[in-house]
Amino acid sequence: MDLFGIANLGRFRHIVTILFKYGFDDIAERLNIPGKILIGKVPAVAGELTTWQRLRLGLEELGPSFVKLGQILSQRPDLLPLELIRELEKLQDAVTPVPTAEIVKVVEESLGIPLAEVFANFSETPLAAGSLAQVHQAILKRSGAAVAVKVRRPEVEKTIEIDLHILETLIPYLYEHFEFARIYNLPRLFIELRRALLRELDFTREARNMKIVAANFSGYPEVFIPGVLDSASTDKVLTMELAEGTKLKNFPESTLEHREKLARNGLGIIIKQILDDGFFHADPHPGNILIRADDTVCLLDWGSVGIMPERTRYELVDLVSAITDKNAEKALDVMLSFNAGQGRPIDEPLLVRDILEMIYSYHSVPIGELNIKNLFSDINTLLRTHGLQLPSDLALMFKAVVTAEGTLHKLYPELNVVAELQPHLRRLSQERWQPRSLLQQMGRQLRQFLRLQHDLPTRLRSILERLDRGQLAIRFEHQNLTGFQRTLDNASNRLAFSILTAALIIGSSMIITTGVKPLLFGYPAIGLIGYFISAVLGLTVLINIIRSRGL
C-alpha cells in the first residue's frame, strides 16, 4: 500500500490531525492527502512549547503504540539529541485499566482453559496498567501461592500492527523529502524500533529473559528475580512469583547508612549484569526497582534487555582507558571499530582533534566530580557529528548506566558511580590478558583464518572464470528515487491522457461534420459519445493536477 492508499485509513487521518494540532504543519502539508485542507482547520495547541515538547505531547495523544515507541526511543541517546531524549523520558506509561472481564477473556483464550481451573482468586483491581499490558494479583488453585499475572491488553496487537504499517509506509517518503529524516536515518531507526516493540509484546521472550537473569544471580541472596510459572504463561500471559516490597520511587526516608548500603548493592547488581554477564536490564528506572522487606533488590519488567558480547565489553574498557590516558589515537581506533564495514568517509585528523578536546575537558576533573551522564552524552555527540554510531547494545548500556546513576542518586546522592566502576573495569582489563582468554582469541582468529584459506581459492577461481567468459558485470543500484519515479509516472500518465483526449476531440469533430447516422439531438451519436469521453478524461487530468498542487 502506498502513501495515497493509507490516506483512506481513519487512523492515518488522526495522525495527520495531531501533526497539525502540535505545529508540524510542514510535514502534514507535504503528505498530500485528500481532505488535508479540512484537517488543517484543526486549532493548534496553545502555549509556548519547544519542538521536542510538542513532539512528546503529540506522542501521548496518539496513544499506546506511539507512547511505547517514544519510551524505546528514549533509550537511544546515540541516535537522538539530548533535549529530545529528556522529553521522551517524561512519557507516562500509565493508562486507564482495561475492565477485568476483558482481561479474564484474554487469559482464558490464551491458556485454553477456564480461569477458575488455574487461579483460586483473581483480583479485580490491577496492580499496574501500562500501554501494552496490565498486571493482576492472583492465587494459584493448586498451591495457594500468590502470583502476579501480566496480561497483554486486548486489541493492542492489532492497533500496533496498523500503526507500524502506517509508519513503514510513511518513513521512506519522509526520508526522501525531509532533511531531518536523513540526519537521524529514519529507515534504520524504524527497523530497530519495530524489532524492540514486537519483542516487548512477546511475553515468552520476557519469561526467558527472567530465567537467564535468575541463573546469572544464583548464589546472590541480595537479589530476587521472580520465578516464572510456565504452565500458566504464553506469549500473551506471563505468570510469575509475586514480588512484594516498596518501589524505589516510593522508598521512605531511612538512615544514611541504610540508603548507602542499598545504593551500593543496586549499583553492584547493574555492574555485574553489564560487565560480568553481558546481559542487562535496559531501563532500570525507579519504577522498575523494588526493595523488599529484607532489603533484597528486585528488578521488574524484563521486556527490554541489552546484550554485551565479550568483545564489546573489551572495547568499552579500551575506550575508557584511552580517555583516562589521554590517548586520542587509541580512542579513534575503538570508535572506528564500532563502525567497521559501514564504508563511510571519516575525516580522521579532525576526529582526533575533537577527541583530544573532549579528553582534556574531563582529564582535569577529579574522579569524584566526574559526571558520567555528561561524559556519555559528549561521546554520543562526538560520534554523531562525525557520522559514526555506537552499536545498539552499547548505546543501551550507556543509557542503562545513566538511568541507574540517576535512580541511585535519589537514594544516596553521594554515590560515586565512576569510582565504583573503576575496579570492575580494571578487573575486566586484566581478565582479557589471562592465558585462557588469549587462547580463546587465538582459537577464534585461527578458525577465521582457516575458513578464509578454505574459501578464498574457490572464490578467486569463480571470479576469474566469469571474467574470462565476459560474465563479470558491475551493478549500479539507485536509491531514494521512489519520489522521482512516482513523479515521472504521473507526468507520463497525464501526457497520455491529454494526447488521448485531444485525439478524441479531433476525431469526434470530424465525425460531427459528416452527419453520419445514427443521430442524437440532430448530431452524429458517435461524435457526441467521443466528446463526452474526452470531457471525462480532461476533467480527470484537471482534478489530478489540482490535487497534486494542494489547491
Rg (CA), the chain: 31
SS3 at position 517: coil
The 10 Å Cβ neighbour count of residue 141 is 13
Do the beta carbons of residue 226 and residue 150 sit within 8 Å? no
> Does residue 426 share a domain with residue 441?
no
220 domain residue, yes or no: yes
Domain final residue, candidates 471, 493, 519: 471
Kindly list the distances between the CA atom of residue 454 and the CA atoms of 319, 444, 450, 460, 466, in Å, as whole numbers in the listed order: 35, 15, 6, 11, 20
Domain final residue, candidates 471, 497, 518: 471
414 domain residue, yes or no: yes
> Does residue 489 share a domain with residue 404?
no
Q: What is the mean pLDDT of each run of 10 residues along the chain (551 residues)?
A: 53 79 71 53 70 86 82 74 81 77 94 94 90 92 94 89 84 74 72 85 94 93 93 95 86 79 88 89 85 89 87 80 78 76 69 84 64 77 78 79 82 78 76 68 69 75 77 60 62 75 78 74 76 79 64 40
Do the beta carbons of residue 305 and residue 281 sit within 8 Å? yes
> Does residue 255 share a domain with residue 236?
no
Q: Give 137's strand partners.
A: 148
DSSP state of 228: B
63 domain residue, yes or no: no
> Does residue 428 share a domain with residue 526?
no
Q: Give the whole-angstrom CA distance, residue 34 versus residue 50.
A: 29
Name the one residue in this structure whose C-alpha cell is 559514526: 388
490 domain residue, yes or no: yes
**Host domain of residue 537:** 482-548
Domain final residue, candidates 243, 273, 308: 243
> Does residue 398 share a domain with residue 360?
yes
> Does residue 307 share a domain with residue 417?
yes
> Does residue 319 share a domain with residue 171?
no
pLDDT confidence of residue 550: 41
400 domain residue, yes or no: yes
| Residue 283: burial class (beta carbons within 10 Å; 0-12, 13-18, 19+) | buried
The 10 Å Cβ neighbour count of residue 316 is 19
Distance of CA 191 to the CA centre of its chain: 7
DSSP state of 180: H
145 domain residue, yes or no: yes
- The angle, 0 to 180 degrees and rounded to 10, between the axes of the packed helices 310-324 and 348-363 is 70
Do the beta carbons of residue 246 and residue 262 sit within 8 Å? no
> Does residue 236 share a domain with residue 163?
yes
> Does residue 191 share a domain with residue 140?
yes
Q: Give the whole-angstrom CA distance, residue 379 versus residue 358.
A: 8
Do the beta carbons of residue 266 and residue 415 sit within 8 Å? no
> Does residue 508 share a domain with residue 368?
no
> Does residue 405 share a domain with residue 498?
no
DSSP state of 116: G
Residues near 439 by beta carbon (within 8 Å), at least 6 away in sequence: none
129 domain residue, yes or no: yes
DSSP state of 282: S
Count of domains forming the chain: 4
Do the beta carbons of residue 296 and residue 226 sit within 8 Å? no
Do the beta carbons of residue 93 and residue 200 sit within 8 Å? no
Q: Give 299's strand partners.
A: 289
The 10 Å Cβ neighbour count of residue 118 is 22
DSSP state of 115: G
> Does residue 357 share a domain with residue 275?
yes
20 domain residue, yes or no: no
Phi/psi of residue 82, nearest 5 degrees: -60, -40
pLDDT confidence of residue 94: 59
Do the beta carbons of residue 405 and residue 274 sit within 8 Å? no
